Amino acid sequence: DGGITQSPKYLFRKEGQNVTLSCEQNLNHDAMYWYRQDPGQGLRLIYYSQIVNDFQKGDIAEGYSVSREKKESFPLTVTSAQKNPTAFYLCASSIGAGKGEQYFGPGTRLTVT
Amino acid sequence: GENVEQHPSTLSVQEGDSAVIKCTYSDSASNYFPWYKQELGKRPQLIIDIRSNVGEKKDQRIAVTLNKTAKHFSLHITETQPEDSAVYFCAASSEGGKLIFGQGTELSVKP
């Protein structure tokens, strides 16, 4: 399944808490992406990174933050500023930005109550 | 901003029939158009893709057509089987190497 992993599979948090979702890949891919999936809305891009130590906002970056200190890791923090954080979060990677297939991780389902 | 519209949102066919899903995109600079299949509770997986220098591509029962002038592309599945039941997403490339995804089509193949 492509060598990209996300943990944990299910995550529960109380409102007002920050939470960090893990994404690791061993594919030697330069580009990594975070998407949010809600029912009936497809995949919406949160943040993406074309190379280590660089990242750009996607369409719905408000309330989220990321880091890219290592090529293989691209963690996503859902902050308390995110108004509606309950969702399914998918991480993906590709050889390079705009180059070839994006491989997806298994996803993390975050529930905030 | 860039946008991809996908239709229909749900599609129900009898086993053996064909299924067609259509997408339109807004960014005339888009040059890569993948299709992903997502089974319930699983990750999206690429099933076929097409680049803008090609008008049609086929892989066994699956084909994709692209009309650059009209800015639309379609997925065709022939001889559908129950295991084709899933949500299908189209996408179009955008600046910076991003993909813009359609809203998804839930395909149900009835035995």
Q: What is the pLDDT of residues A10-26, one digit of tens each?
A: 999 999 999 999 999 99
- The whole-number pLDDT of residue B83 equals 96
Which residues does A contribute to its contact with B (CB < 8 Å)?
1, 31, 33, 35, 40-45, 48, 50, 56, 58-59, 90, 94, 96-99, 101-102, 104-107
Average predicted confidence (pLDDT) for chain B: 94
DSSP helix, strand, coil percent of chain A (3-state; round to 5):
0, 55, 45
Inter-chain contact B103–A45, Cβ cutoff 8 Å? no
Cα–Cα distance measured from residue A80 to residue A78, given in angstroms and rounded to the nearest whole number: 7
How close A17 comes to chain B (CA, Å)?
26
- Three-state DSSP class for B18? coil
Looking at residue A5, its pLDDT comes to 96
pLDDT computed for residue B53 by the predictor: 84
pLDDT score of A1 more than 70? no
Q: CB–CB of A108/A23 below 8 Å? A: no
Query: E strands of B39-94, at which residues?
Result: 45-51, 56-59, 62-67, 72-77, 86-93
Question: Tell me, what's the pLDDT at B52?
Answer: 84
Q: What is the pLDDT of residues A68-93, one digit of tens each?
A: 999 999 999 999 989 999 999 999 99
Yes or no: say if B82 and B13 are a contact pair by the CB < 8 Å rule: no
For the ranges A36-40, B29-33, B100-104, which has the lowest average pLDDT?
A36-40
Query: Which of B99, B100, B103 to substitute to test the interface with A, most A CBs within 10 Å?
Result: B99
- φ/ψ bin of B83: left (φ > 0), alpha (ψ from -120 to 50), beta (otherwise): alpha
CA distance A44 to A55: 16
Task: Tell if the CB–CB gap between A44 and B101 is shorter than 8 Å.
Answer: yes
